[in-house]
Amino acid sequence: MTSTGIIVARFQTPYLHDGHRHLLEQIKAKHHKVVIVLGVSPVKGTKRNPFDFYTREKMIKAAYPDFIVLPLPDHPSDETWSLKLNELLQQSFPNEEFILYGGRSSFIPFYSGGIPVEELPEQSDHSSTTIRSEYGDKVLDSEDFRLGVNYACHNMYSKVYPTVDIAVFRDHKKNILLGRKKQGKKWRFPGGFADVTDSDFESAAKRELLEECGAIEVSDMWYVGSAKIDDWRYRNEEDKIVTMFFATDLVFGQATANDDLLEVRWFETNELEDMMQNDIIAAEHFVLVDLLLKNLIRKENKLMTQSI
């Protein structure tokens, strides 16, 4: 019985480059039947995996219409993934024999399923990563390009953007630091988006505070709560912002407005409710003021209970 050639790969490029075609032609010359198993990431629309299964399937079938293309979801366990690959092939093509093919930096070191494997030498210096990066900012004036952008956005998961906001106190919680942005007149807590380089939300809060309020020294951050923020930029979008709200005490230093803050100023903490009623605080931060005041009341009640 003639074996079926199985290519296990990702093909995460906008086109089949020379290296791809050489590999495919090699396998086509050896087997009457060729199957391509495409790895499918659990995360949609990333820089490493921008193309979904259907987009890659159409690209391959346009050049090689006789090839069969199957999806195989990624799995955190190499052993389980290997078993899933075997199951996919055996259920799709009962009683057939297979040879698995891959390049030098392919699935081969992670596969333990027992089907014969053959490593093919690299025939070009093409890099899918380099190609994706090269074309990452190229805009084409075509309907197909615009439809592709629409397709990609439409098929992304709705996202929650994590941000951090910080309440900075001084004088035993009597004063609180607020900032005013360049494009707004109302006061708000300093803060911003968490970054992929932040090790945790407390680190993100410390970084944002220093970026917006200068080189001040503060105590350890303590968690106040979290809340969905009615940010005007996302008001009509499915994507939303959820912030992690922290508080800290000023140790020393003079707060100065930086980054996207035009001004920072200390206010009396007991004035926060009046400031909301008088529309002095940004409306999207009302929920944070409420969280903070409730947290302070709980702390105060706890201290009173402990002193009795």
Domain extents for the chain? 4-154, 160-307
Where does the pLDDT of residue 182 fall: very low under 50, low under 70, confident under 90, or very high at 90 and above? confident
CA distance linking residue 244 with residue 164, whole number of Å? 5
Where does the pLDDT of residue 137 fall: very low under 50, low under 70, confident under 90, or very high at 90 and above? confident
160-307 in CATH: which number?
3.90.79.10
Where does the pLDDT of residue 302 fall: very low under 50, low under 70, confident under 90, or very high at 90 and above? low
Taking residues 108-112, what's their average pLDDT?
93
Residue 308 has pLDDT above 70, yes or no: no
Contact between residue 253 and residue 171 where contact means Cβ atoms under 8 Å apart: no
End-to-end CA distance of the chain: 87
Higher pLDDT, 125 or 264: 264
Provide the pLDDT for residue 301: 66
Residue 63 phi, psi (nearest 5): -90, -30
What share of the chain has pLDDT > 70, as a percent? Answer: 95
Residue 268 has pLDDT above 70, yes or no: yes
Short-list 128, 87, 133, 86, CA closest to 106: 128
At 153 the three-state DSSP class reads: helix
CA distance linking residue 144 with residue 109, whole number of Å? 38
Where does the pLDDT of residue 307 fall: very low under 50, low under 70, confident under 90, or very high at 90 and above? low
Instruction: Fill in the amino acid letter for 110.
Output: F
Residue 217 has pLDDT above 70, yes or no: yes
Higher pLDDT, 195 or 44: 195
Residue 69 has pLDDT above 80, yes or no: yes
CA distance linking residue 117 with residue 3, whole number of Å? 12
CA distance linking residue 289 with residue 10, whole number of Å? 49
Provide the pLDDT for residue 300: 66
Residue 288 has pLDDT above 70, yes or no: yes
User: For the whole model, what pTM was predicted?
Assistant: 0.80
Where does the pLDDT of residue 7 fall: very low under 50, low under 70, confident under 90, or very high at 90 and above? very high
Which tokens sit at 285?
Answer: 């931060």
Q: Classify residue 270 by its DSSP letter.
A: G
CATH superfamily of 4-154: HUPs (3.40.50.620)
Contact between residue 78 and residue 107 where contact means Cβ atoms under 8 Å apart: no
Ramachandran area for residue 114 (φ above 0: left; ψ -120 to 50: alpha; else beta): left
CA distance linking residue 169 with residue 18, whole number of Å? 62
- Residue 72's DSSP bridge partners are 39
Provide the pLDDT for residue 124: 61
In the numeric block, the tokens 């009615």 are attached to 230
Residue 140 has pLDDT above 60, yes or no: yes
Where does the pLDDT of residue 113 fall: very low under 50, low under 70, confident under 90, or very high at 90 and above? very high
Which tokens sit at 242?
Answer: 């959820």
Rank 132-141, 176-185, 279-288 by mean pLDDT and report only the highest.
Answer: 279-288
- Residue by residue, DSSP assigns 68-102 as EEEEEE--S-HHHHHHHHHHHHHHHSTT--EEEEE
